[in-house]
Structure 1
Amino acid sequence: MGLARYTLWRVVQAVPVLIGIITITFFLANQIPGDPVQTMLGPNPGQEQVEAIQARYGLDRPIHERYLSYLSGVAAGNLGLSIYYDRPVLEMIMLRLPVTLLLMLSAFAFAIATAIPLGIISAKRRNKPADHVSRIVSLIGVSTPSFWIGLVLIIVFAFYLGWFPARGLVLPWADPADVRGAETQFQVIRTAAHHLFLPMIALGTLQMAQITRIERSAMVDSLQGEYVKLARAYGVPESTIVRKHAFQVAQLPVITIIGLGLSTALGGAVLTETVFEIQGMGRLIITAINNQDYELIMGTTFMFGVAYVVGVIITDIAYAYIDPRVTYGDET
């Protein structure tokens, strides 16, 4: 089975998973106590207003009809109409998704750029001071919630030192006319990086700690392999052994933790965006839950599910790309 067929097969396998996410989310969202119409109109709405709102959003129909209608709508690319915003859910997601993607990608870039060197150094200097420091840092990172890290960063670097802003996020592709104090696109990018630094660290610390631990463990095993001992016996320089022989093999478990860490990052993004008042997908889903916006809850959860499934598929493909011993499908 080639790469294209394997990718298609994994996408087909993902369809039942996404349908399961839609189904579970739909029925759980509709079991939330309270009435979204009352939330929208206040405690004493008129009967005509209630009936009009229920008819507009389909809340007057039986739940099984609403489920089938929603399922067919998702298949057609329609995620429904937000009760709170009175706008299409897909439109709201497209407005907020770039913000969350920017935050997550920057957090993963920070995590990978710091974790892999730390893991390699820790493995090469096993049981030495550098290894102990790296392990302590990764242990603290794994044990500390992202929202707590965010609050500490705000207190230290925003409140006391005043080096970084404590709230908001600027998109690097925004128009300079829409960004305060910016006249050129370069100034917009600089402002975006300035705003992004603290939330990036807060969200990326957990990922960095997890990747560091896995990288160290994988590199330790790889450096003790028979092929490494043989290379050393032939007099191959240690730097070449680490770079060409041990490193590539050690990346398989790292790829797994990066791909599956997407779900952790999505959950952390909700808290990080709340702490730093960033208008992304995290704040969107919190707003949806607080206002019992069924369609928006289901739409944002579905997009989170899609992101996770895509991450798993990319991880599987990357496995076979990096290690020739891993095959696509039924190849032997």
Structure 2
Amino acid sequence: MEEEEETKITEKYRPTSLGGVRGNEEILICLRKFNLVDLPNMLFYGPSGTGKTTSIRALLNNKMSPINVLELNASDERGIDTVRNRIKQFAETSVEHRLVILDEADSMSKDAQGALRRIMEDYPNCRFCLICNYARKVIEPIQSRCAKFRFTPISPSQTRMCVVDILRKENVEVRDEEGLELLVESSDGDLRRLVNDIQGIKRAYGSISRENMEEFLGTVPRERIEAIYSILKDGEIGFKEAFDRIRKMEVETMAIVDEVFKRVLKSDREDRFRIIRGLGDIEVGKAIECSDHVQLAVLVGLFK
């Protein structure tokens, strides 16, 4: 039920024309120049929520009748049988202009990708748009047959424009600017996540405020993060004292790492690149399940 509702609201705010798609302007310019005759095989790749699926659907709304399109989600239909049967059967049809949209193509098995490659070779009049997060997971023979378009996260300014527009349409009150900024930052340029978050916030609180956003996102209050960062930067506080004071604040180390990274990246510290590399080591420690105290000790050691 929740998945259906999430789908409903994301579809509600999905642009239906290229003019409504946010971000990745250079890609949109290229797509606007395409027509049915010169439409190439395409590989759209990049993070979730950056407009990959929306862009190809918007292009089709402008250029092509839906009857010539086969759209599949490769994560659900990733097997070699799907490629050999559904895709091959569609490619063999006599319709002049055919396009297969294969979402989450990087989840296809290598055997299925090999079969897809042969279909692309045997049926050059059938075009393909492969959509994925990671181009490297698509075999090179397929990549070489596609025009590659790398989608990047939507910029904060464009994300903010989307936020303000959707909040207005959903009648969600903005009670303070800090709450709005937290909503924009938390999306990381992923508009799908943004829309779903707005829906959740509307249900839970009915308005946007800093307090509501911190509770909804489970983020550490800004004052506490600033206090921790001040302890780390203070050259007069030694390692043990800094470690003990931060540990007593009972904040998960990875939450501190994320916030410290943002601040160090924007700083003019001469040692910022060393610290950022160290933060990366802490991320690795998380992956191999190092204890939180060990990770905190490494973090404090970067500054002391």
Range into which the TM-score falls when normalised by the shorter chain? under 0.3
- Write 1 or 2 for the structure with the bigger share of strand: 2
- Write 1 or 2 for the structure with the bigger share of helix: 1
TM-score of the two chains, using structure 1 as the length reference: 0.23
Higher RCO (CA-CA < 8 Å; seq separation 6+): 1
